[in-house]
Copies of this chain bind each other. A is one copy, B any other.
Amino acid sequence: MIKPNELEPLPEPGQGKRGKDGYLGYLLRQAASIYRNRVDHALRDLSLTQPQFSVMTMLNAYPGHSSADLARLALLTPQTMSVIVSNLIKQQYIVRHAHPVHGRIQVLQLTESGQQMLSTAKQRVYAIDNEMTRSLSETDEAIIKNWLSQMARS
């Protein structure tokens, strides 16, 4: 029986030290997975998943965009985004409207209850975020943010 702490950061014992490469991706995956676990857990009783929260956040920041727009933003296929959007519509957190000019595009918007839900969810998620940065100095945080957003842009 293994307790998690017994073998954490997984330095790959039998393979010789690998100082730089490979290691950072593993850590990123691990950290993101733990972050995701916490977010999922914090949103569970709201019946909100992390991708749903993410879509609502995007829609709040950039209202009036379509499912295809969101798919591009999140680097997902239109079909996948369509499922997430459908689930949000089912929960009545967002609504579809016909595009004023373009006859085919369905423009999305947060509903009243969607905004309330997002606000509640944000409080919990931001609490987790704050916990994450608590031990960081200003400069270190800037370095990390810089690196992460550089990755996100590429």
Contact = CB atoms under 8 A, between A and B. Distances in A.
* Number of copies of chain A assembled together: 2
Given A35-B29, A72-B2, A125-B25, A58 B140 contact: no
B34 A151 contact: yes
A30 to B, nearest CB: 4
Contacts of A58: 10
A70 B126 CA distance: 30
A122 B18 CA distance: 12
A100 interface: no
A13 interface: yes
A58 to B, nearest CB: 7
A125 B22 CA distance: 7
A1 B34 CA distance: 34
A35 B27 contact: no
B29 A36 contact: yes
B141 A24 contact: yes
Interface in A96-154: 122, 125-126, 128-130, 132-133, 135-136, 140-141, 143-145, 147-154
- Among A4, A31, A150, which residue has the most Cβ atoms of chain B within 10 A? A31
Contact of A8 (B26, B31, B152): B152
Across chains A and B, which 10 residue pairs bring their CB atoms closest together, nearest first?
A32-B32, A25-B129, A27-B148, A22-B126, A31-B151, A30-B152, A2-B69, A31-B148, A21-B130, A12-B61
